[in-house]
Amino acid sequence: MHKGILHIYRNTPLGREFLYQSIFFSQKVNTPLYIYIPKYKNFNMYFEDRVVSVSLEPSYFRDSKRAKERVQKILKEKNAVANFIEPKEFTASTLPDLPVDFSFMTSPRTISIPFSKFQIGRIGKVVRNILLCSQFPVILPSYCFKEWSKVVVMFGGSKNAVNAFKVGYYIAKRTNDPLYLFTQQENNRPLSYYEAILKQKGLEEELKSVKEWLFFKEGDFSDNLFEIPSDSLVIIGLFGHGIIKNFVFGSKMEIVQRELPNNLVVVGPHFKEFFV
């Protein structure tokens, strides 16, 4: 098992920022970084019960002859090391199969649509499919490299929110960064209701490590997001039937990824617990 971060390199200034973020995450969490420099426009990712076919937009291949040279320069600049992925399996002669046995993957919000034609605050169809099918959490990086020194878990009480807490706790433990929880009260449920969910899942000891629970009984959810520290990594699970089916706009997931400039880690419905 690769047990590290998968990063697909885009040979543009934006791609450089995303690579900075993967390197930072890799060094903070102390897990290997795996970089794929595309040679073909398309590739497949074979998850347990579904194949995600990815068609990369043209900027991934801009000045492709210099791509590896640029990556190596960035790695040297950051005093980092990485493994370069060369696919071994092919569905067709020009259709490689990318391995999926990773602990994390860094993905921009769009892979198949040129960024210049993409509406900020949206998530592209292919990225949505990866989020829905992957066993690993997916890092949605901010558009410019942004360091983080806190971990904030969005917790609404769902199964995927519990998984998000597990991921957030794991990252905070690896990095020694403070762990926060963020909850927007629903149906007048007290804080004890949400605490009980974690305790029932056998996470009572992990819950003790939370530095602060940002619990909001009033106010608009979007407005309360202002209280999330700028220098935090935000962990969120895909929750609610609509979000799992088609990322209905207006859901909390959509609001979070649209409103927050922070780096996000999204934990999907097929997440499996891991050890980096």
DSSP state of 154: E
Domain boundaries, the chain: 5-140, 150-267
If pLDDT is split at 50, 70 and 90, which confidence band does 188 have?
very high
- Longest alpha-carbon distance in the chain: 58
The pLDDT of residue 251 is above 90 = no
The pLDDT of residue 214 is above 60 = yes
The pLDDT of residue 235 is above 60 = yes
pLDDT value for 244: 37
If pLDDT is split at 50, 70 and 90, which confidence band does 25 have?
very high
Other Cβ atoms less than 10 A from the Cβ of 248: the count is 13
pLDDT value for 240: 45
Provide the CATH number for the domain formed by 5-140 in this structure.
3.40.50
If pLDDT is split at 50, 70 and 90, which confidence band does 250 have?
very low
pLDDT value for 3: 85
Global pTM? 0.92
Give the mean model confidence (pLDDT) for residues 65-92. Answer: 95
Alpha-helix residue ranges (DSSP H) falling in 82-190: 125-133, 159-175
Encode pLDDT of 86-134 as tens digits. 999 999 989 999 999 999 999 988 887 766 555 555 778 888 899 989 9
pLDDT value for 239: 58
Encode pLDDT of 254-269 as tens digits. 888 888 999 999 999 8
Mean pLDDT of the residues in the chain: 89
34, 102 Cβ separation under 8 angstroms: yes
Q: Which residues contact 216 (CB under 8 A, 6 or more apart)?
A: 182, 183, 184, 185, 224, 227
Q: Examine domains 5-140 and 150-267 and report if their fold is the same.
A: yes
Task: Report d(CA 2, CA 121) in Å as an integer.
Answer: 31
Alpha-helix residue ranges (DSSP H) falling in the chain: 13-29, 67-77, 125-133, 159-175, 191-200, 204-207, 221-224, 241-246, 252-259
Task: Report d(CA 93, CA 100) in Å as an integer.
Answer: 20
Q: What pairs with residue 114 in β-bridges? A: none
If pLDDT is split at 50, 70 and 90, which confidence band does 276 have?
low
pLDDT value for 140: 95
pLDDT value for 274: 67
Structure tokens given for 173: 């433990």
Encode pLDDT of 138-157 as tens digits. 999 998 999 999 999 999 99
Other Cβ atoms less than 10 A from the Cβ of 111: the count is 18
Greater model confidence, 183 or 124: 183
Structure tokens given for 85: 């992925």
Tell the CATH topology of 150-267: Rossmann fold (3.40.50)
The pLDDT of residue 241 is above 80 = no
Distances from the Cα of 141 to the Cα of 85, 119, 191, angstroms: 21, 16, 30
Task: Report d(CA 106, CA 25) in Å as an integer.
Answer: 10
Task: Report d(CA 65, CA 63) in Å as an integer.
Answer: 6
Q: What are phi and psi of 182, to 5 degrees?
A: -125, 125
pLDDT value for 9: 96
